[in-house]
Amino acid sequence: MDAIGVVVNPIAGMGGRVGLKGTDGKVEAARRRGAEPRAPDRARDALRSLHRRSPELTVYTAAHVLGERAARDAGYEPIVVYDPATDGPEADSASDTNTEPVADTDPESDADANDSARPVDPATAETTAADTRAAVRAFLERGVDLVLFVGGDGTAVDVATVIEESNEQESGTTPMLGVPAGVKIYSSVFAVTPADAGRIAAEFDRVEPREVNDIDENAYREGEVRAELRAVVPVPVAPDVQSGKQVSSGSVESLAAGFAREIDPDRTYVFGPGSTVGAIEEELGVDPSPLGVDVWRDGTVLARDAAESDILDVLEEPATIVVSPIGGQGFVFGRGNHQLSPAVIRRADAIEVVASDAKLDDIDALRVDTDDETLDEELRGWEQVRTGRFTTRLVKVV
């Protein structure tokens, strides 16, 4: 890796310790409660970790607390390619990230000068989501190998929006990686710690698609989680990139969208009961049987709320059985879906188990009880469970 772009949301996470459950639209309230910025320190920790491993790296960044100061403190001589005081924020609609007014800074300063000592206090720095997006665009114009950002899910959305636009226009694959600093971290694009982020940025050699999710902070403050898939972007592959925090219908929706995207029109699908599998059917335009089994192939429902005999009558190979474990119990066969008999299971050449991470967190293992001990033994072992658009988990069938 030759060059990296670094952008910091200086107000990310300020609302957490003072009980605001986020900073979106609550910066002034957080300041009144005595909130201290945490993003600049976490940016510095990440960049120091990176500098230990890649001191010669070219670092592009935004002015002052938007990245320049942390990069200099870490030992780099960054190239400032965006300054809100001289370049100005882009006049596009702000996302629910750092939505405060732009700081009243000196418009005659030289953005490339070594002026990190300039008195811009992170606790009072005022930036917009447009600043984040403008900085990322400047990085991509210079061909960076990675965009490293510091913030939360809202910042991730801003960065991902620009990267997706650029990758679509130029067939690029510029990856992004987050240093976690926000209150809510539901996306799977963040390193576990700032130090991990620096190490991953220095050492990664491949990327994989990951989900960017965001939640409604106002609903979150009222005790309701409303997550939404906002983007899918390339992220460095590493053990210390955290999984998405999937605890809402949003994760099931992304799972369903991912499954539907990979449908094979030449394959028959046997959809078991349950809301998770039902979400896949709805994505395919099927009105699911809430507690029944449906058979579908290439846009046509072959059997609805089917009994075993109905399934066998229409089941054409190749065929996939799609099931979700019962919450708290873990049964994928033998509880609530007896229509999926040993004869049906043996006729299919593939089984897809789907579940949210939240459901799997409450299950110690998957279980089968088909009334056919030989089949049960064949089904035991490790099963790859689909949990999101691109994510899976290995769970043992016992």
Tokens of 180: 């976690």
- 323 and 195 in a common domain: no
Query: According to the model, what pLDDT value does residue 243 have?
Result: 58
- 320 and 209 in a common domain: no
Final residue belonging to a domain, choices 244, 263, 290: 244
Strands 227-236 and 79-82: unpaired
Query: According to the model, what pLDDT value does residue 80 have?
Result: 97
- 39 and 132 in a common domain: yes
Taking 70 as the pLDDT cut, the residues of the chain under it are 13-36, 88-126, 168-172, 183-184, 215-227, 240, 242-251
- 287 and 191 in a common domain: no
Is this prediction's pTM over 0.85? Answer: no
Report the distance separating Cα 342 and Cα 325, nearest Å. 17
Final residue belonging to a domain, choices 244, 279, 301: 244
- 187 and 325 in a common domain: no
Q: Residue 266 maps to which CATH number?
A: 3.40.50
Strands 294-297 and 268-271: antiparallel
**Which region holds residue 25: left if phi is over 0, alpha if psi is between -120 and 50, else beta?**
left
- 66 and 153 in a common domain: yes
- 256 and 171 in a common domain: no
- 31 and 74 in a common domain: yes
- 135 and 219 in a common domain: yes
How many distinct structural domains can be found in the chain?
2
- List beta partners, residue 381: 397
N-term to C-term CA, the chain: 44
DSSP 65: G
Write out the residue range of the structural domain in which residue 289 sits: 252-397
- 106 and 44 in a common domain: yes
DSSP 243: P
Final residue belonging to a domain, choices 244, 267, 298: 244
